[in-house]
Amino acid sequence: MRVRGVVPRCVVVDLDPVTGRNDAPLLRELSGYRQSQGEINFGVDAVVTAAGRVRTGDQIVLRRG
């Protein structure tokens, strides 16, 4: 896989699905678990570069570039 970038926070998760009001402090709570270098990241945008199976416990190699 190749990571293309981080996925920033999305304020929509704080909206009540019925009323549309911004009254659910979900982002504030989650941000305590997801802070990295002063930013709040919730995932990455990645593409598969080679087909295959990844299993729990498989070793990975991280490369820049």
Strands 35-36 vs 2-8: parallel, antiparallel or unpaired? unpaired
**Count of domains observed in the chain:** 1
Q: What is the pLDDT of residues 19-65, one digit of tens each?
A: 888 887 777 777 776 666 667 777 788 999 999 998 999 998 888 76
Residue 10 lies in a domain: yes
Q: Which domain holds residue 38?
A: 2-47
SS3 57: coil
Residue 55 lies in a domain: no
pTM: 0.49
Amino acid at 37: Q
Residue 34 lies in a domain: yes
Residue 13 lies in a domain: yes
Residue 59 lies in a domain: no
Residue 63 lies in a domain: no
Residue 61 lies in a domain: no
Strand partners for 43: 7
Compute φ and ψ for 64, nearest 5 degrees.
Answer: -95, 145
